[in-house]
Amino acid sequence: MAKINNAFITLASIFALASAAQSCITINDLNVPGAEILNITSILQTNVSAPAPPPDPAYTGISFCDVTIVLTHPGGNDTVTVEIWLPTTGWNSRFQATGGGGFSSGIGSALLGPAVAQGYSAASTDGGNLGFGFQINPEAFDSDYNVIPGIFEDYIYRSVHDMAVVGKAVTEIYYGKAPSFSYWNGCSTGGRQGVNEAQMYPDDFNGIMAAAPVINLGQDVIAFEWPYIVMNNEKTFPSQCVFNTFLNASIAQCDGLDGVKDGLISNIKDCDFDPYSLVGKQVECDGTSNTISHSVATVYRKILEGPRTPSGEQLWYGLELGVRTNDLYTGDANTATSNGTTIAVPFPVTDEWIKYFLKLDPSYDTSTITYAESAELFAQSVNDMVNSSSNNPDLSPFHKAGGKMIVWHGLSDNIAPPGGTLNYRHRVESLMGGTGAVDDFWRLFFVPGISHCGGGYGPVPTDPLAAIVAWVENGTAPDTLAAQFTDPSGAVVNHDICRYPLVSRHDGKGDPKVASSYTCAESF
């Protein structure tokens, strides 16, 4: 039943609400290939407030038909919930599916609210609940700690495709016509889900916006844990204040490589900062004087290098120069200081992943992992995840279907190494004809100074989804993404992000806070 929160309401409004409420309760007879519908419920939600990504204020006054569908896959012992929000007025004839983060396949109102406020019909899925945020769901495993059949498949690929099928079908039933265009929007796990859709279900979406995609699961599991492994093996635990000394020194050395001193390392390729140059430097942290030691510089260097074998062979990518080791989200190189003692803190998602998926033992002590054992775990992880890492470079079906994709990744990502995304891009280019050919349907943007999915100390893309919409619907392929942030002085900085393989360079004369003062030049 409709919830009427206004003190005064017109007769026409009552009829409109009644009509919308009726359409909510008549959604049925859905067909999802390979799945069985268990339950469908719907309710009219009026004058709802929904969160918005910081720093935007919450969206208020949203009214929508809230449809919840529960389904299962025969023989899978799984239960998947899909929620679709359908705006009662102002539908823009588009459908938007939204992604998850960590172990969550979807994050609900955090993305649904903004989507509906912009006129989209929008969907989210719990993906069978492999986990919630940074925590695994123990109920997704049997007594021997094997994941229950079907739930892992739901998390990796199946639930997103089902959401696309269900979401578009419900949209058509509700409005009496199919959406004109369908889009994906997600970051981190949500970024991986989007890229995986392009690989496995190229007809699901016309446009995909995938940020900081974790598309190399097998490799990334150990890469994310690597800083924790390094600190425990070196028995050296720098505080975040000490880590920031390396950050600030690398910025001071390499900031000007793009032609302007603006606090950003835009050109990491030519930045040759040496962590050992700080050995012996005195640092004031929380009222205490610290001396940067050789062992601290070694920890920082190894974190930047990424996972290696005991003999030094590189296994995967590390974090980049200019990274804030702990910012906005819990970073890979997280430490905590209490009463003068600093300890290493593991990244929760991969710590749980190692325990449940690699060791099959939730009580396993990851702090004991040696360099030799980490190499063995890396090999096991890559082997176990060979069919689940969402990094198949063959995007030709997506290209043939006319799909367009934008991926952006912060160069200062403190969780997912941007090198993994670049590696995938190179593999796609090698298979599909080079940078120009791939740019016809997929454009990649590396964002200086930005941490995982946002935060950091640089301009964040303001509306990359709008860029993919313009590309799909108007043929306007983006050479740049508009980005913005507020600097420490309180000034608003606008700075366009250049598409790979170009980087932003200052023109030598314009206001560094204005986007028009920059051009895109070769670097990578």
pLDDT at 510: 92
Q: Mean pLDDT throughout 352-375?
A: 97
What pLDDT, in 10s, does the model give residues 328-345? 456 889 998 888 889 999
Task: Give per-residue pLDDT as tens, 240-296.
Answer: 999 999 999 999 999 998 888 888 898 888 899 999 999 999 999 878 888 999 999
- The answer to whether residue 452 is catalytic is yes
Which is catalytic among the residues 73, 161, 399, 452?
452
pLDDT at 328: 45
pTM of this structure: 0.93
pLDDT value for 149: 83
Identify the pLDDT of residue 9.
33
d(CA 357, CA 214): 17
- Residue 52: pLDDT above 90? no
Distances (CA, A) of 414 to 76, 179, 249, 336: 36, 37, 17, 16
Could you write out the three-class secondary structure of 268-300? CCCCCCCHHHHCCCEEEECCEEEECCHHHHHHH
Q: Is 413 a catalytic residue?
A: yes
- Give the pLDDT of residue 448: 94
Q: Is 188 a catalytic residue?
A: yes
Q: Read off the pLDDT of residues 108-136 as tens digits, 9 standing for 90 and up.
A: 888 899 999 999 999 999 999 999 988 99
The pLDDT, as a whole number, for residue 57 is 74
Reduced to 3 states (helix: H, G, I; strand: E, B; else coil), residue 58 is coil
Mean pLDDT of 27-41: 90
Among 48-52, 53-57, 234-238, 460-464, which is the least confidently predicted range?
A: 53-57
Identified catalytic residue from 121, 188, 374, 523: 188
C-alpha to C-alpha distance for 448 and 107, rounded to whole angstroms: 26
Confidence of residue 7 (pLDDT cuts 50, 70, 90): very low
The 3-state DSSP class for residue 341 equals strand
CA 169 to chain centre: 27
Which pLDDT does position 288 carry in this prediction? 86
The dihedral region occupied by 312, where left means phi > 0, alpha psi between -120 and 50, and beta the remainder, is left
pLDDT tens digits, 81-116 = 999 999 999 999 999 999 999 999 998 888 899 999
Which residue is catalytic, options 78, 220, 351, 413? 413
